[in-house]
Amino acid sequence: MIAGLLVGGAILAEVTATLSLRASHGLTRLVPSAVVAVGYLLAFVLLAQALKTLNVGPVYAIWSGLGTVGALAGGVLLYDEPLRPGTVLGMTLVVVGLAVLYLYGGTTHE
């Protein structure tokens, strides 16, 4: 349970950092650049803690996949980036793939 919360926190930190990259304008704005640095550091610290008890392959796939979907959704909501049918299909396939990995790929140490 705690490891799952750590992964969730790592995903939120990574998405926040990724979205802040755009706001930083090439790391030339101080506050968004600091959010990038702190966000990625926090994401890796939380992920490392979760991996003390979870298997790296499925957890990394979940972290990176949901981070990708979160960054895409954030780009649509915050930056008015286009959301096309193919994008929605791709996001759906990522989420379905992650669900299969989670259910059948084994996220905990055996």
pLDDT 10s per residue in the chain (110 long)? 899 999 999 999 999 999 999 999 999 999 999 999 999 999 999 999 999 999 898 899 999 999 999 999 999 999 999 999 999 999 999 999 988 888 887 666 55
- The 3-state secondary structure of the chain, one letter per residue: CHHHHHHHHHHHHHHHHHHHHHHCCCCCCHHHHHHHHHHHHHHHHHHHHHCCCECHHHHHHHHHHHHHHHHHHHHHHHHCCCCCHHHHHHHHHHHHHHHHHHHHCCCECC
